[in-house]
């Protein structure tokens, strides 16, 4: 203790105070995380011609088990005819890396479009439910307001 200050218990906070601007920066940073690897995102990135960059954005260690699982998913898409790509193999026959220029096939375009159509129907259904629930709540609140007005007039409360 120097100058009657307890330095052993003093903590320094490195995080800035939570303000609206800091929260917005944090939230925007959370939105920049890479997309999850699934059939749709693999086909989308193959359509753009950036499949290799998309997969490497997730993992930098190429021999990781999840990396190999994503490459196996790509290999399954190739076997199903949705993707045209070649793989470098390791000694046990598992895929290690994509060779340059993987691309989506016509069947892959059709499958991706079916996935998008299914999502559009779900989005339409969800927005319809939200709209109808809003209309229902508006109807209920207006009915209650009218009921209370009539009740108040009937019993002389106004």
Expressed as residue numbers, the domain containing 94 is: 32-104
Beta bridge partners of residue 2, listed in sequence order:
5
pLDDT digits (tens, 9 = 90+) for 39-75: 888 888 888 888 887 877 766 555 567 777 788 888 8
Residue 68 is encoded by which pair of tokens? 């190999």
- pTM metric for this prediction: 0.53
> In a 10 Å sphere around its CB, with 0-12 CB exposed, 13-18 middle and 19+ buried, how is residue 53 labelled?
exposed
Coil vs helix vs strand at 58: coil
Residue 89 in domain = yes
Residue 126 in domain = no
Residue 84 in domain = yes
State residue 88 phi and psi, 5-degree precision: -85, 135
Total structural domains in the chain? Answer: 1
Residue 15 in domain = no
Residue 149 in domain = no
CA distance 141 to 125: 24
pLDDT digits (tens, 9 = 90+) for 68-119: 778 888 888 888 999 988 877 777 766 666 777 888 899 998 998 888 887 8
Residue 47 in domain = yes
Residue 131 in domain = no
Residue 24 in domain = no
CA distance 143 to 136: 10
């Amino acid at each position: 203790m120097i100058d009657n200050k307890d330095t052993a218990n003093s903590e320094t906070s490195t995080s800035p105070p939570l303000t609206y601007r800091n929260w917005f920066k944090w939230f925007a940073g959370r939105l920049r995380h890479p997309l999850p690897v699934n059939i749709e995102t693999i086909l989308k990135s193959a359509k753009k011609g950036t499949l290799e960059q998309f997969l490497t954005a997730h993992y930098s260690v190429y021999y990781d088990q999840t990396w190999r699982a994503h490459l196996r998913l790509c290999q399954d898409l190739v076997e199903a005819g949705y993707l045209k790509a070649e793989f470098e193999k390791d000694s046990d026959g598992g895929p290690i890396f994509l060779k340059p220029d993987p691309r989506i096939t016509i069947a892959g375009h059709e499958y991706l479009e079916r996935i998008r159509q299914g999502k559009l129907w779900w989005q339409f259904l969800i927005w319809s439910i939200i709209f109808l629930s809003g209309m229902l709540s508006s109807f209920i609140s207006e009915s209650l307001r009218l009921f209370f007005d009539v009740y108040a007039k009937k019993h002389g409360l106004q």
